[in-house]
Amino acid sequence: MDMWKQSTAARPAGIVGGRVTAAVGTQTAANGSTLNEPWLRYSVNNLVIQPTTLCNLDCTYCYLPFRDKNRRLPKVLAEKIANDLIELDTPVTVIWHGGEPLATGLEYFKTLVEPFEELRSSRRVEHVIQTNATLITGGWCDLLKHYDFGVGISLDGPKHFNKNRLNLSGSESFDGVMAGVQLLKTHCIDFSVIAVVNALNIDAADELFSFFGELGCSSLGINIEEREGTNQKNYQGRERVEKFWNRLFELWVAQPTFKIREFSRAISWMEAATKGEASFPKELRYDIFPTISVDGSVVMLAPELNGPYSTVRYPSFTVGNISDQSLKEIIARAQDVHYVKDYLKGVSNCRDSCEYFNFCLGGSASNKFFECGDLTHTTTTYCENGQKAVVDAVLKCLEKI
């Protein structure tokens, strides 16, 4: 399941966060570029690199195509990306996202990260990684510490809620994940968690809250199961979704011992609103979120669009290849890319039609594509379950206080 839901600037919430982020503000982005809509600008704050297509798990709700194929990013392309980043004027968070990044192999992965060392030591690059945690070893912990990785893991709660998270053999992965978590803790490595909420755990807010409270994660992000990539299921039970958020928020307000991404964001938004800063933003700055796949091809807006997706409206989401163009050149063309233009039109449509816009800022390109086939679209099941229901739950609970 993906990790790009909502936006927070800090790491490691940057992994738990992410999504095509929109920073609200009236200032011009340092590397901002104008788009056709004068109130929209874009910049690059996050870069996703796919070190391998391979995953050692086969979760039933996974969106990733080719996760059974072992294709690795060539070292020469890692060096090219690092060189290309020198040309960008702002710091970038490099998000290593597979497949399962640790399936790349420890020694090989080191050779992919090493070209970024100069940039990292001058604070122009920081690394984050999202992992299923089952392949973590002492050696991986040393690497994560050495390169100062922000670490996010995927886990859906106690063991009985992880029946969708299966090894390739079909066995459950939970014990392997917990062994990895234990190693992170032994090595004093902070980690955040992404949990997918689906038919198994949607009625278990209390159990999830207590499990994650005890786990020792620094923050939790919740993704309600959504239809994306190779996963064709959307979680449709709106009433249960609302109950879930309501209960989780009640628990969290009573005992806010760890961050919950969605609530932190809602509270920040409300705080801004009370200061009069969250009225209609004069300018939105969108992170164009380039994703570089193992063959050097680049997609924009969402890593979920990195796949063999082709429709009449969108024959391809690939906008270039870093083997023969610089990242800067590719990014500079963003404003001319058909699907980026469509997405921004969709943001504009959201602004004109949705009362949740100032919180949501226009939704996600991948959900609009996979649910509606059209990035100019507005409402999706994802935004109903993951945006509107969160705001409603928070407001409802605060009204009672």
Interface residues with ligand SF4 (CB under 6 A)?
Answer: 350, 354, 356-357, 360, 362-363, 378-379, 383, 387-388
Please identify, using beta-carbon distances, which residue of 11 and 388 lies nearer to ligand SF4: 388
Distance, CA of 306 to CA of 129 (rounded, Å): 18
CB of 396 to ligand SF4, least distance (A): 17
SS (H, E, C) the chain: CCCCCCCCCCCCHHHHCCCCCEEECCCCCCCCEECCCCCEEEECCEEEECCECCCCECCCCCCCCCCCCCCECCHHHHHHHHHHHHHCCCCEEEEECCCCHHHHCHHHHHHHHHHHHHHHHCCCEEEEEEECCCCCCHHHHHHHHHCCCEEEEECCCCHHHCCCCEECCCCECHHHHHHHHHHHHHCCCCEEEEEEECCCCCCCHHHHHHHHHHHCCCEEEEEECCCECCECCCCCCHHHHHHHHHHHHHHHHHCCCCEEHHHHHHHHHHHHHHCCCCCCCCCEEEECCCEECCCCEEECCCHHHCCCCCCCCCCCCEEEECCCCCHHHHHHCHHHCHHHHHHHHHHHHHHHHCCCHHHHCCCCHHHHHHHHCCCCCCCCHHHHHHHHHHHHHHHHHHHHC
CB of 219 to ligand SF4, least distance (A): 22
CB of 384 to ligand SF4, least distance (A): 7
Residue nearest to ligand SF4 (CB): 363
CB of 77 to ligand SF4, least distance (A): 34
Distance, CA of 218 to CA of 221 (rounded, Å): 10
Please identify, using beta-carbon distances, which residue of 208 and 350 lies nearer to ligand SF4: 350
CB of 387 to ligand SF4, least distance (A): 4
Please identify, using beta-carbon distances, which residue of 67 and 351 lies nearer to ligand SF4: 351
Please identify, using beta-carbon distances, which residue of 6 and 162 lies nearer to ligand SF4: 6
CB of 351 to ligand SF4, least distance (A): 7
CB of 279 to ligand SF4, least distance (A): 15
CB of 389 to ligand SF4, least distance (A): 10
Please identify, using beta-carbon distances, which residue of 224 and 354 lies nearer to ligand SF4: 354
